[in-house]
Amino acid sequence: MKIIYSPSVYVVGRQTLAEDGLSEFLSDHGVTWSSDSEVPAEVLTETAGRICYLSFAAPRPGGNAAYLGHIKEVGHGSVLEHSVWNIIVTGVSRSLTHELVRHRVGVSPSQLSQRYVDESVAEYVCPPDLREEIEAAKVRLKEDWGEKECYEFEFNETLDWPNLTDKERAGLWWLRSMSRSHQDYVYLAHYLTEKANKKNAESKLTKTESRKFARQAARSVLPNATETKVFLTINGRAARHLLSLRGSRHADPEIRILATAIFDALRLESPNLFGDFVKEPLPDGTFELKTPYEKC
Ligand SMILES: Cc1cc2nc3c(=O)[nH]c(=O)nc-3n(C[C@H](O)[C@H](O)[C@H](O)COP(=O)(O)OP(=O)(O)OC[C@H]3O[C@@H](n4cnc5c(N)ncnc54)[C@H](O)[C@@H]3O)c2cc1C
């Protein structure tokens, strides 16, 4: 049973520009134009915006950065929907993805299935506000028990230890809860697999159906902290909306940390679409994301 402390964000897909198609369009309309950006998502959003007023012939100074800055300033957010990324997020909890999938527009998730995938190898995500406690408990476990993993402990016993600090006790309490749920899942998955095998004799379940039968019921005891992975396809406008809402100080710290990590990745992908966000430090050591163009 492993504890995860921070999410990982992998950008696995980005747009390419079909330069031949764009040149053909410009030539058919008797204009020559090229963007000063080398980022396809930025060129495509600028092209989409320029289509609205056919403003390719005499662009204002400032290039792509100024153009997209103006789009954000006047709130023409739909133009930003023409930029798209594919991102894989790992090391996040099921409670985080429950919040993430509330973003219904411009965000398409494909998430690890607990019905098909065996969670007996699951890892658990430490809530940022319990990190100190969990780290203190792990140090204490190591000091008193050596190199054993925490699922090997009799946790009732550990909670009776003398001289536990409040922090250590709280951390142990959390670890105990994860460990118990984990063991309950393993036991129930095993029990339900046996049950599926008996059922199989009567109704000829396929192997996949048997596994699904066992795991879909056993997963009911897994905690919100269970680690999950999600593939997101997200457009620039939806990403900005997500960064504003989930990068806010009012968001849960775990999703705020993820929003910051997504921002770090997308700012590298497209400085002109995301560079207006700034990271402002919060007292808990995390960052809040702020932009003057929140509504875009
Ligand atoms: C700090 C915080 C606390 C929260 N607490 C709770 C909570 O306690 N309980 C809870 O249930 N949720 C909670 N949420 C989730 C929140 O209510 C939203 O569901 C979530 O943030 C997604 O936002 P959204 O609907 O704007 O995004 P999207 O679903 O991506 O929608 C984007 C935009 O499209 C438009 N839109 C989308 N769907 C429609 C529609 N059907 N009709 C008209 N316009 C539409 C809206 O303008 C919307 O802002 C919380 C969110 C935050 C950030």
Of 94, 90, 117, 285, nearest in space to 178 by CA:
94
Q: Whose CA is nearest to atom 44 of ligand 1?
A: 105
Instruction: Look at residue 131 and tell me whether its pLDDT is greater than 70.
Output: yes
pTM: 0.95
DSSP H/E element including 4: strand 3-4
User: Is ligand 1 within 6 A of the CB of residue 245?
Assistant: yes
- In this prediction, residue 204 carries a pLDDT of 78
The ligand 1 atom nearest the CA atom of 251: 1
User: Is ligand 1 within 6 A of the CB of residue 103?
Assistant: yes
The ligand 1 atom nearest the CA atom of 106: 30
Among 98, 99, 100, 102, say which to mutate for ligand 1: greatest number of ligand atoms within 8 Å of CB. Answer: 102
Q: Which two tokens stand for residue 104?
A: 């219904």
User: Is ligand 1 within 6 A of the CB of residue 211?
Assistant: no
pLDDT digits (tens, 9 = 90+) for 248-275: 999 999 999 999 999 999 999 999 999 9
**pLDDT higher for 160 or 166?**
166
3-class state of residue 278 by DSSP: strand
Q: Which two tokens stand for residue 243?
A: 């960064």
The rounded Å distance from CA 263 to ligand 1 centre is 19
Q: Give the mean pLDDT of 57-64.
A: 91
The rounded Å distance from CA 86 to ligand 1 centre is 22
- In this prediction, residue 44 carries a pLDDT of 98
The ligand 1 atom nearest the CA atom of 250: 1
Q: Could you tell me what percent of the chain has a pLDDT over 90?
A: 79
Instruction: Look at residue 286 and tell me whether its pLDDT is greater than 90.
Output: yes
In DSSP notation, 70-121 reads HHHHHT-GGGGGG-EEEEEEEEEEHHHHHHHTT--SSEEEEE--TTTS-GGG
User: Is ligand 1 within 6 A of the CB of residue 102?
Assistant: yes
Q: Whose CA is nearest to atom 6 of ligand 1?
A: 99
Q: Could you tell me what percent of the chain has a pLDDT over 70?
A: 95
User: Is ligand 1 within 6 A of the CB of residue 241?
Assistant: yes
Residue 16, phi then psi, degrees to nearest 5: -120, 155
Instruction: Look at residue 151 and tell me whether its pLDDT is greater than 60.
Output: no
Catalytic annotation present for 246: yes
Among 235, 245, 250, say which to mutate for ligand 1: greatest number of ligand atoms within 8 Å of CB. Answer: 245
pLDDT digits (tens, 9 = 90+) for 67-117: 999 999 999 999 999 999 999 999 999 999 999 999 999 999 999 999 999
Q: Which of 176, 215, 240, 246 is catalytic?
A: 246
Report residue 246 CA to chain centroid gap: 11
Dihedral-angle region of residue 5 (phi above 0 means left; psi in -120 to 50 means alpha; beta otherwise): alpha
The rounded Å distance from CA 180 to ligand 1 centre is 34
- In this prediction, residue 296 carries a pLDDT of 84
Query: Which range has the worst mean pLDDT, 7-16, 133-142, 254-263?
Result: 133-142
Q: Whose CA is nearest to atom 22 of ligand 1?
A: 103
d(C-alpha 140, C-alpha 117), whole Å: 33
- In this prediction, residue 163 carries a pLDDT of 84
